[in-house]
Structure 1
């Protein structure tokens, strides 16, 4: 067993070193191993050495005892029986506790590196007036040392007690050994030994009491984290008293060496315990009850102000742009004309719904698949930068026929995904399908020429063996349907030409085929650890990575962009956030590729690193995105050369960088409470907010918070629309009206090595208490219960949804977008319908919009907005009926469909007949739930409308 363990250990170390060497980060592994090794040795020597020393001293100082009683005779027999195995026990026990002590010390290698490479924050805390770096870097390290020394001394003291008792240096029955003996008896050597250990332990505890004064700055309270009135006036001073008491007790134990009596130190320990209870618990409770409670608001106000300021700094919210927004709830004609650019950029495609649509329309082969949740990026289409829904075709071994599943195929034939597929976020076909701007195999579209093969990505198999002799790997079918093959020509992974490497990987993976298969030949390379986030965490173990990585075509390569965070839970005075809770939402509950963070509590976070992982070569690059972050400075000192300066980022890469969603989720959670500026308001908790539950979530995500959405919009006060990440707030409690709207500028610009000055600007719109603005859940309730007919007056929305479900189709609500436009808030929700059948997929069949208390819906966004705002959709090129006609049709509740006027022109007459026929066919198809026929009718309707418009004498069709 020992030999097997050793072989596995060596093989694991070999493959780990080879992997780090292949990505160019072997220095990171070396630093980590050296640090862990040094700490292990120190911890093992301290723990094991202290226990061994105690045992050895007790044995050497054992008294010569002539048994005078039955008890002493029994103990002498025990000593005789133990003596043959004493040496082995004396070695085994210290070795065992030393191993655990060393492992405990080695596990804290990050604390050690941070302390050794600490840098000042340049900001001081509000209570002790010390640099923040002291609390972030030094206090945690000192706390660990105090804890380690406490463990070491307690184990040494316990070993000493047992050994001295065994060899007679300590006799609990006292002089004479009778049952009524007066007190414990110790030899002089045992007394010295035990007193020195006890005094050392008390000295360490004194240090612990003193250190806890600084630790109180990050202790969680009922309202705030850190120092409160009671902590300031009762707890911090008493910790100093307890430290002094521990020093006095240590002196009493040293005095016992001379006096020979245990009475004084034992009384001292009892008194210290009483003092700890009195001044450590009773006195603070007294201060809280009789000094703070009667005037709590005024007593706590200065401490609340300090905590609010510290929290906003720690979460990067110090420069938040706040403004009151008295949102109007009246929708009128012309209201959106000032927001034309924003309206034109509304993203209709929901990346969490259309994955199945991408799969059916662009999957092409079963061994490629798209993730369940797609991503939103920006690409230039027809000279305009557009929000674009993107995904890569990943490898799907489950799609390979069972008859073709074997080791060779799984690991050497089906090895990679292929190509990026992108769709315009704001455009749809007449059937409600995405308008793809990058598609097919081979790839074609607006992204230009790039390397399409995806060897590294999300949800990839464990390992593949690529390269070698011949073109073995399946690529994609050509125009005739014949499968093309390829051979990996990159430098990713580890070369298997060395037999020792093959043996090491065979042992590591427990797979003998790596060693024996003829599919592994000269030139073969093994690629593993293929998830982009995991690769970044491996080369930068000090980073917390965002749960949503996304692919972008950058400089002719598919690059996975990964956001990395430096975090701490030791920022004095800042509120603590649970990362898992703050980053969980309806998307993380249902998507396999979007994950909530799992790294516990933090009260400081920075998006300090932007990382890229090349989808073809697996190359990892780290860029210092927040170069002034003190924690990043400390880590870059520890791992010199592992992080590149921002100046090395290309313009193309910068243009695809976005504000990370998990950081935004943490910040929006903090602002639920800390949006309150006034300390008295904060104290009374009179204006607490919460992120609303996602009203469009399915059964698997009910009760989960609404996720933030990437949108291009112009916030009030912004001159032009900006790519942003947005979220909403409602009050805590049963009310569901909108109270706040949060956004952050997410466009980093397009200048090489530099981010735009507006990037990261957090903007908060606060609704005055006098206004009542519809919230997301209220809009959804109106949507689900409205009898409002579609823009053409044909069918109520509830009937439309009911007919779709009755026909066997599935109705899916798309993301509910909220946009501050027209002086108020506009809600936009696409409705998807998926027909029955294994090969069916969601198609967008309607768009519901709301403003204030008004709601409208239609097959297209433009038509719905025209109905809602009396002909003012705000989108260039959209139909713009006159305000009177639109209002007339809406108010009468009758069919407001455009009816063409008669004409003697034969072409116009035919076009008008075709227009009416297409319209009637479309309405009939909608009532039957026949969406294919409906889409065809819409296409004929558009052609007829174009023909009629061209043939009309005035160049337009007049509505009646």
Structure 2
């Protein structure tokens, strides 16, 4: 088809009429589609807003502000894209008409301009709708860290709050122009193909067409010149060196500082010169020269890369510590600041043998020593306190409570609804009847019953006998409540919620409780969102019914503040007014802290927020607890009124503050490598060579070989100047890296309000004697003959035997080791404490005591002639005359032997009691 035939076809009236009809129908379809999409978006926004308002007051303001900024930047991106495409189309049309005129061709073709620009603009705005808003919010509300990076001396706040937004603006312009380049080429090709059936290479050599594309490429390089500032700053987030035990460290090393920094400084000017020369050649029509000038840019980069590689191999690698030493110091310094371990107080711990008078002086510490195992206690609580077939305990936590006027560490766990345990999972049961958990259990961690089971302070369902009263025990919001339920059903007299014992029924207090009213509009919208059309047809739902959703407390807290990282380990508290409240920790994190090492996807973290959620109403409140964190300051400026100040922290939380275990574990992981202070060249050399690496203390494990000890809470009086009173401490021991298992240090963090978050590192001098670590103590316990015999005897009777947590308890300048031993009888899932083992180190001996409780174990340990295990892996006594006298056949008179006899009698009694119980059960069955 030649051009005249094409124009004749284009001008036909019939074609025009058909096009008009199609255009009208297309507009109608687009309008209907736009209305439907608009209604769906509006419905989604409405549902999100009412959910956030139900979670907490003013929380929807976060969502609304985010939408406002999304709209602002969507309009901004649309205008930029529309303008760029429209201007490009104007130049393309001019070139095409020149081309057609040069070839003596006339055309009535209407090349698309604004319509296609609008379509591309709308698509671009939609794709980039989430690209700017969060970075813009932090940019316009940024705060200073008052800490400068070591390379460019810019405040760290620039890299976290300002630079990301500037980069996003730059990236948008860069990618937009890349799109314009390819769009221009495609437009020319498609237009020429439509006009001519065949387009030759000679046709494409039209100077105006080539000039337009070269100018586009030159503008790309002009934009690219701006990037070198960001790329130079990006050196701070590169990697260098090869540190033993760490690998490559984050930051700018020798090559980055001495080669690439210089290149990125010169490169923008070089590029601008290349662009200027290119424009000159293009204007003079010397297109080949223009192409050669553009090629200089990648050639220079290749040359610099080769120089950097040669320098790394020939100069840096052979003497890496001297070349990279000062840059390693930067990494060590900034990493320690980023994880808040740079101000740890270090206290030298010179071990002294434990003595009875030390125990006597520290009675409260000893009385509060944890003698029950976490997992065993939780398992026991599930068996003893589940009480019905639909309650369960997900996990428990250790916290301090005032019991009978004395601060006592307790194990507390929520009795939650677990619908997986229901036999009948009908819609009525799942939605209306089984809606909530009921109450808590609480037992001290420093004692147990005579049977070796949990000694409950709060137990059962009614709790009438306890001094700690629960006025509202129902738990509608918890860790296991992952579904939504409807309360206050329409059939008020017939259908009620099942309460605590499976028989009693109760109605939810819709006046004081949370939830969203299910009017007609809400029923329709939630039915569509959840694909649950029972909302529309169920006779149990009326306009007075309420929908309780977002009931899983971690997800509930996270939903409102997506910019924070919410800890997935909440704990429950009983307040002074008898209410149950969930406490959650939230963190501010970033991966943009210069020179800081990445651990877990970020390289900076602060525990800046505590969250309180009412277990009954779901009311959620956020409190700032770290006023020194610049990141939370920024979010507090962005979203005013969301966070409560620290002085408004409820009194019950101040009394029961607890440092998050997640953060403490992370800090101990960092500390394994970064405990070395970079205040001397020797320390930096030690860090590089891994001469002073730590590892987390462990105990022997049959399956994996070693099991790392988890951090543990205990109520102790800290040694030295810190120890005024007993307080709840979270602690974790370290040992040197490698095959050695001696105790090297231990880290503790304080939980009380006045000292919250204070980290104290207790270290043992290098010249001190080898101090037994948990692994070595466990090995020595396994060598105790009486314990081995007991375990064998219990196992032969069909009982499962396992050990609880081995604890390392500092008392003044001494260390006490404590470990419980549990048995679980056949047919009885309840674990019971059978023995407590205590021990301490004196010289190269491990002196131990065994008892049925902590007091008896301590008494036996401090008896006149205690049992010991020495490094030759034999059981001995401290009486050298009796020890090693193999020819004497008389009965041993030392207390260690007496304890073995007592233990054997107790073990046989346990077996006999079990057999009598089984006999009694058999007789009852026969009757």
* TM-score range for the pair, normalised by the shorter chain length: 0.7 to 0.9
What residue is the counterpart of 2:794 in the other structure? 804
> 2:131–2:168: 8 Å Cα contact kept in structure 1?
no
Matched, 1:604 2:604: yes
The CA distance in 2 between the partners of 1:603 and 1:392, in whole Å, is 34
Matched, 1:747 2:769: no
**Structure 1, residues 290-333: CA drift from partner, whole Å, max 9, x if none?**
444455434433333333222222212232111332335x5555
1:494, CA displacement in angstroms?
3.9
What residue is the counterpart of 2:63 in the other structure? 29
The CA distance in 2 between the partners of 1:53 and 1:382, in whole Å, is 81
- Residues 706 and 922 of structure 1, relative CA distance in 2, 3 Å threshold: closer
Segment of structure 1 superposing worse, 639-648 or 294-303: 294-303
> 2:835–2:850: 8 Å Cα contact kept in structure 1?
yes
Segment of structure 1 superposing worse, 639-648 or 143-152: 143-152
1:547, CA displacement in angstroms?
2.4
Q: Determine which of 426, 433, 447 is the counterpart of 1:413.
A: 433
**Structure 1, residues 752-803: CA drift from partner, whole Å, max 9, x if none?**
xxxx0x22111112233343222223333333x32332xxxxxxx1232233
Unpaired stretches in structure 1, ≥5 consecutive residues: 579-600, 749-755, 790-796, 874-882, 900-918, 937-960
What residue is the counterpart of 2:689 in the other structure? 684
- Residues 140 and 296 of structure 1, relative CA distance in 2, 3 Å threshold: same
Map 1:45-444 onto structure 2 (within 5 A): 45-47=79-81, 50-51=84-85, 53-55=87-89, 57-63=91-97, 95=119, 99=123, 102-167=126-191, 177=201, 185-188=205-208, 190-222=209-241, 223=243, 224-279=249-304, 281-293=305-317, 295-328=319-352, 333-371=356-394, 373-402=395-424, 405-444=425-464
The CA distance in 2 between the partners of 1:268 and 1:920, in whole Å, is 93
Q: Determine which of 813, 817, 831 is the counterpart of 1:823.
A: 813
**Structure 1, residues 586-615: CA drift from partner, whole Å, max 9, x if none?**
xxxxxxxxxxxxxxx222111111111111
What residue is the counterpart of 1:591 in the other structure? none
1:236, CA displacement in angstroms?
1.2
> 2:82–2:118: 8 Å Cα contact kept in structure 1?
yes
The CA distance in 1 between the partners of 2:915 and 2:310, in whole Å, is 73
The CA distance in 2 between the partners of 1:41 and 1:443, in whole Å, is 60
What residue is the counterpart of 2:761 in the other structure? 764
> 2:229–2:265: 8 Å Cα contact kept in structure 1?
yes
Q: SS where residue 427 of structure 1 aligns?
A: coil
- Residues 429 and 138 of structure 1, relative CA distance in 2, 3 Å threshold: same
> 1:139–1:214: 8 Å Cα contact kept in structure 2?
no
> 1:865–1:872: 8 Å Cα contact kept in structure 2?
no
1:387, CA displacement in angstroms?
0.7
The CA distance in 1 between the partners of 2:840 and 2:559, in whole Å, is 48
> 1:170–1:187: 8 Å Cα contact kept in structure 2?
no
1:890, CA displacement in angstroms?
8.1
> 1:431–1:932: 8 Å Cα contact kept in structure 2?
no
**Structure 1, residues 892-944: CA drift from partner, whole Å, max 9, x if none?**
75324899xxxxxxxxxxxxxxxxxxx9974423345839979x9xxxxxxxx
Segment of structure 1 superposing worse, 292-301 or 659-668: 292-301
Q: SS where residue 292 of structure 2 aligns?
A: helix
Q: Determine which of 513, 517, 537 is the counterpart of 2:534.
A: 513
**Structure 1, residues 83-105: CA drift from partner, whole Å, max 9, x if none?**
89x859x9679746853664345
Segment of structure 1 superposing worse, 159-168 or 920-929: 920-929
The CA distance in 2 between the partners of 1:929 and 1:54, in whole Å, is 93
1:889, CA displacement in angstroms?
7.3
Matched, 1:539 2:560: yes
Matched, 1:924 2:927: no
Q: SS where residue 847 of structure 1 aligns?
A: strand
Unpaired stretches in structure 2, ≥5 consecutive residues: 1-31, 244-248, 678-682, 867-877, 884-890, 921-927
> 2:793–2:907: 8 Å Cα contact kept in structure 1?
no
- Residues 248 and 692 of structure 1, relative CA distance in 2, 3 Å threshold: farther
The CA distance in 1 between the partners of 2:372 and 2:307, in whole Å, is 61
Q: Determine which of 716, 722, 726 is the counterpart of 1:713.
A: 716
Map 1:626-645 onto structure 2 (within 5 A): 626-645=626-645
The CA distance in 2 between the partners of 1:932 and 1:153, in whole Å, is 87
1:9, CA displacement in angstroms?
4.4
- Residues 240 and 265 of structure 1, relative CA distance in 2, 3 Å threshold: farther
Q: SS where residue 542 of structure 1 aligns?
A: coil
- Residues 167 and 343 of structure 1, relative CA distance in 2, 3 Å threshold: same
The CA distance in 2 between the partners of 1:544 and 1:319, in whole Å, is 24
The CA distance in 1 between the partners of 2:70 and 2:865, in whole Å, is 66
Q: SS where residue 355 of structure 1 aligns?
A: helix
Map 1:532-571 onto structure 2 (within 5 A): 532-556=553-577, 557-571=579-593
Q: Determine which of 473, 486, 497 is the counterpart of 1:474.
A: 497
- Residues 742 and 235 of structure 1, relative CA distance in 2, 3 Å threshold: same
**Structure 1, residues 553-612: CA drift from partner, whole Å, max 9, x if none?**
12432111111111111112222211xxxxxxxxxxxxxxxxxxxxxx222111111111
Q: Determine which of 493, 497, 508 is the counterpart of 1:487.
A: 508
> 2:797–2:911: 8 Å Cα contact kept in structure 1?
no
Q: Determine which of 452, 464, 487 is the counterpart of 2:485.
A: 464
- Residues 197 and 429 of structure 1, relative CA distance in 2, 3 Å threshold: same
The CA distance in 2 between the partners of 1:275 and 1:806, in whole Å, is 78
- Residues 433 and 893 of structure 1, relative CA distance in 2, 3 Å threshold: closer
What residue is the counterpart of 1:951 in the other structure? none
Matched, 1:859 2:852: yes
Segment of structure 1 superposing worse, 55-64 or 154-163: 55-64
- Residues 67 and 196 of structure 1, relative CA distance in 2, 3 Å threshold: closer
> 1:198–1:253: 8 Å Cα contact kept in structure 2?
no
The CA distance in 1 between the partners of 2:687 and 2:507, in whole Å, is 63
Q: Determine which of 829, 839, 845 is the counterpart of 2:834.
A: 845
Q: SS where residue 522 of structure 1 aligns?
A: coil
Q: SS where residue 719 of structure 2 aligns?
A: coil
Q: SS where residue 602 of structure 1 aligns?
A: coil
1:363, CA displacement in angstroms?
1.4
- Residues 248 and 832 of structure 1, relative CA distance in 2, 3 Å threshold: farther
**Structure 1, residues 841-887: CA drift from partner, whole Å, max 9, x if none?**
222222233323524433222222233343899xxxxxxxxx99x99
1:31, CA displacement in angstroms?
0.9
1:4, CA displacement in angstroms?
8.1
Matched, 1:895 2:884: no
1:390, CA displacement in angstroms?
0.4
> 2:860–2:895: 8 Å Cα contact kept in structure 1?
no
The CA distance in 1 between the partners of 2:68 and 2:706, in whole Å, is 47
What residue is the counterpart of 1:836 in the other structure? 826
How many aligned residue pairs are there?
A: 842
Matched, 1:525 2:546: yes
Q: Determine which of 740, 743, 751 is the counterpart of 1:738.
A: 743
Map 1:445-456 onto structure 2 (within 5 A): 445-456=466-477
1:192, CA displacement in angstroms?
4.6
The CA distance in 1 between the partners of 2:233 and 2:893, in whole Å, is 67
- Residues 333 and 310 of structure 1, relative CA distance in 2, 3 Å threshold: same
1:288, CA displacement in angstroms?
3.4
Q: Determine which of 797, 802, 813 is the counterpart of 2:803.
A: 813
> 1:315–1:606: 8 Å Cα contact kept in structure 2?
yes
**Structure 1, residues 485-533: CA drift from partner, whole Å, max 9, x if none?**
2333355444334200111111111111112212112321111111222
State the Cα RMSD in Å.
3.7
> 2:482–2:550: 8 Å Cα contact kept in structure 1?
no
